[in-house]
Structure 1
């Protein structure tokens, strides 16, 4: 999957999955992140990033540490970290999926947090400079983390300063074709519970198969386009079959209309091309905030006369989901729930 040269369509400057997925930052190959040398001893990691090649497995085990791979190389971390700061919302979503609560999180904006996680999210200290701002080392320090987890696509990240506070693991987002899946799996591996997501994985497999079987007739006659309202005036975002949302709907049997079928990941599109791109869609699946409204500049896109004249829009075959840019397995399962509701309505 080629990298997109387009700028990240993020509502703010921060390294959120909404901006990163919109920019097509995910690459083609999964760069495996494996945890090794685990022990059940002390959870103290000594406070600093040990880097590569430092200690043998036996010595690390005796000190209650493990060594994990990261985008920066091998990192020595506590065997059982207890105060984990998630400086990106991919590891945050993974921890929520695991039933864990981070000690601190990046603030990507409350309107993008699913209702199921909202109360928990509100109670967690935020470590960015306001909504979408830079990571503030001082805020992280006050939380006394024993582990920090982020992703390698984060720009202007004060990595050395964070590493001085606690071992800092950056997950290889840029080499991932399905970040919602890969970042969740790799976060679980870093936390020493690689099998903890197995039940969610099984539910996902079962749900996609069940949707294909139960809605075969509707799936066969319906062609879908996928879109996001965008962040630049006069433009919106079209998503393709190879995007994360396209992959999930494809697993459930979705057939894509011409524009989404021809597009590998996603691209920014002018309002002038609304009819050209979306004319043959039978239904449209799009991104909403947690109040159900079209996300970002979606209201302006939906108000365009050319959008209102689309066959799918006139037939009221437009369906929104806050999980359109999934962060983990629970999000992916919720995408499937929203997709099945749409199929039922058709």
Structure 2
């Protein structure tokens, strides 16, 4: 099943419902004036940072921060793009990113554009923005998290604290947990899920093919559901990816495979890999259990909005 144009699943309903109650569209109960006018301290990857209790002009510099804000019902005034010439990632609801000013690319934001937005909070991560931390803090209190791999849930809590939405964050996490249980049950239970080995394969233009390891955000969703992972995933560098050329695509063998493509398919050697004898010998190929998915979501999505959409696709494809 091709999910490239998949509509938002029912699993996203909670996040969107919560968003509908946010201050950006005038809905929901009014916030206590004392809380809104005060400040609090947030623990970050760069140390403690004092922020407004309810920041109103937020700029986010990474996908995780944008996902968190949207999930929590906060519409940033500015955000970076995921890459050159690339808009906000397509899995994010267009209605919720409309009107957000673009401030450059993730990893190389335009400081002048950020300054022009007069932010009262900046959210990013140390890997991308640590080297410009002093410049950012001169513009607004800046909250940087650590790595966005398997720590994305902890980072979400930091984002929620900075945005003054800790209570809503607990609701989001609880609903995700319920969604996980529903998907696991749909797969026949924990035992059946564990016996189903799943690989996530990403074709990348100008690079080797990447078999996802156990520490990517998507891999944590697979783990939450209790799905099995082939032994090859343990060889992933840093737990992120194990790289193979088209001639070694057979190493991606699994009961089910989810594939995505970044960039030009020809340069990513998709056809070369998927027309080979090795590919035809893979269990998932023989059993017609190879699913083409959106790279924006499965390879670049970070956060609860992304995770809930991935859960819905797992249920759609793997449920018994």
Answer whether TM exceeds 0.5 for this pair. Answer: yes
- How far residue 70 of structure 1 moved from its aligned partner, in angstroms, is 1.8
On the 8 A contact 2:59/2:114 being kept in 1, the answer is: yes
Could you tell me how far apart the structure 2 residues matched to 1:336 and 1:144 are? 37
- Give secondary structure in 1 for the equivalent of 2:68: helix
Could you tell me how far apart the structure 2 residues matched to 1:191 and 1:335 are? 25
Following superposition of structure 1 onto structure 2, how do residues 1-346 of structure 1 map, counting pairs within 5 Å? 40=34, 43=37, 64-109=38-83, 110=86, 113-128=89-104, 131=105, 134-154=108-128, 157-171=131-145, 173-174=146-147, 178-216=150-188, 219=193, 222-233=196-207, 235-260=208-233, 263=236, 264-275=239-250, 277-278=251-252, 280-287=253-260, 294-296=261-263, 300-304=268-272, 305-306=275-276, 308-311=279-282, 312-322=284-294, 323-325=297-299, 326-344=301-319
On the 8 A contact 1:135/1:157 being kept in 2, the answer is: no
Change (3 A) 1:297 1:237: farther
Q: Give me the TM-score of the superposition, normalised by structure 2.
A: 0.76
Unaligned stretches of 5+ residues in structure 2: 1-32
Change (3 A) 1:166 1:132: closer
Could you tell me how far apart the structure 1 residues matched to 2:234 and 2:45 are? 32
Give the number of equivalent residue pairs: 275
- How far residue 298 of structure 1 moved from its aligned partner, in angstroms, is 5.1
On the 8 A contact 2:217/2:302 being kept in 1, the answer is: no
- How far residue 114 of structure 1 moved from its aligned partner, in angstroms, is 3.2
Could you tell me how far apart the structure 1 residues matched to 2:168 and 2:312 are? 22
- How far residue 124 of structure 1 moved from its aligned partner, in angstroms, is 0.8
Report which of the two has the higher share of helix: 2
- How far residue 96 of structure 1 moved from its aligned partner, in angstroms, is 0.3
Unaligned stretches of 5+ residues in structure 1: 1-38, 44-63, 288-293
Q: Give me the TM-score of the superposition, normalised by structure 1.
A: 0.71
On the 8 A contact 2:69/2:75 being kept in 1, the answer is: yes
- How far residue 303 of structure 1 moved from its aligned partner, in angstroms, is 0.6
C-alpha RMSD of matched pairs (Å): 2.7
